[in-house]
Amino acid sequence: MKSTDYFSPDYATARERFLAAARHRGAQHESHILAAHGPAGEPLTMDAARLGDPAAEHAVIISSGLHGIEGFLGSALQAAWLDNHGGTRVLPAGVSLVLVHALNPFGFAWQRRTNENNVDLNRNFLDEFGFRETDPTYRESRMAYDRFCPLLNPQSPPSRWEPYRPFVALYILREGYATRRRLRARGQPVPLPWAWPAIWRLGLRELQKTLPVGQYEHPAGLFYGGREPEETVRSVRAQLPHWVANARRVIHVDLHTGLGQYADYRLYTSETQGSEQQRWLAQCFGAQAVAVWDPQIDNYPARGLMSVDLRSRLRACRYHGLTAEFGTYAGVRVVGALRAENRAHCHSLPGSPPYRWAKSQLMEAFCPTDAKWREAAIRNGLAVIDRALAAFG
């Protein structure tokens, strides 16, 4: 099969292909039915396929679809690896491989990034949510989100004719001038009023306080992290000890799209820059491929990340969580697609022209139809999986 043939048109087809490939490879399969249902009322499941000795001293986990619509690449990559290496590649001794398909099957099936409660699951891996009231850093981020909320979450159906990009530019400049006034009132140095590049940077910095952090006050808004652990979170936590068993070291690659340079990829880690763990990952995957989250963004840290939560739960072994991001389009386009789809979900009738248009925008933003992008994503993704396995070989 060509690499582009592994991309499925919908969740049901993707799941069927994954299960068929897993059976062909002789993998052990487990299925976890979740409470939500698909567009036709069909059940939705999180599936896992295991290869190798369950008691192996090293484990590799490759998961897909935490952000539902991003599962179209993740599923294609998992099926491609099973198919390409079915019967031809023997796992290194002492290594087990677990492929977890569709962590968020609702988002996958409905072509949404979030789950049935509009929760961004990679901001939901938390035990308690009290920081909303007590953490001054989050409070500042929340206030920034509130200011951008009318831009991010218009209370109307989407329209392809809306001048979205000029709206974004005006909001950023407006916020830049408002930030300048606040800084000046505190006696801090500020750019001159006509220094537009500097004003723009101030406004953009305010926007950056909202996008990577997530928010916990607007249930129908973008980047909502929820109020309690969602079903996927509870299920992953429950299955994790089974997936890793007695492994002393675990590499977990969670597959995502939508961030980074077009047709390129990066493996993001929360390990400290220059630490032994970060250097080991760079050695395994290549120094150019492994990136530590931007320390400027870390001033407004994202909470509820799956990799951070799972590492805290696997104290008996060394857990390395990597977020594999396969870049698509510029951030303003990706956010615009998310914005349009969320408006359609909240304010349009399913199947209506605005609804269908918004879904097509989101699909293209996270899984481009460009054959060259798909070929590069599969090629790079297969190399990532092989390197994860070779790290213990």
* Token output for 384: 């990532």
What is the structure's pLDDT at 209? Answer: 85
Domain ranges of the chain: 3-126+232-328+367-390, 131-208
What are 282-293's pLDDT values in tens digits? 999 999 999 997
What is the structure's pLDDT at 31? Answer: 97
Q: List Cβ neighbours of 35 (8 Å cut-off, separation of 6 or more).
A: 231
In contact, 270 and 306? CB cutoff 8 Å:
no
Within the chain, what is the greatest distance between any pair of CA atoms?
69
For tokens 């597959």, the residue is 255
What are 204-258's pLDDT values in tens digits? 999 988 888 899 999 999 999 999 999 999 999 999 999 999 899 999 999 999 9
What are 32-90's pLDDT values in tens digits? 999 999 999 999 999 999 999 988 999 999 999 999 999 999 999 999 999 986 555 67
CA distance 63 to 61: 6
Q: Quick one: which of 59, 61, 50, 48 has its CA closest to 95?
A: 59
**Mean pLDDT in the chain?**
94
Which residues are bridge partners to 323 per DSSP?
Answer: 254, 268
pTM for the model: 0.96
CA distance 393 to 376: 25
- Please check the confidence at residue 262 and state whether its pLDDT lies above 80: yes
Which residues are bridge partners to 99 per DSSP?
Answer: 49, 62
Hey, what CATH topology would domain 3-126+232-328+367-390 get?
Answer: Aminopeptidase (3.40.630)
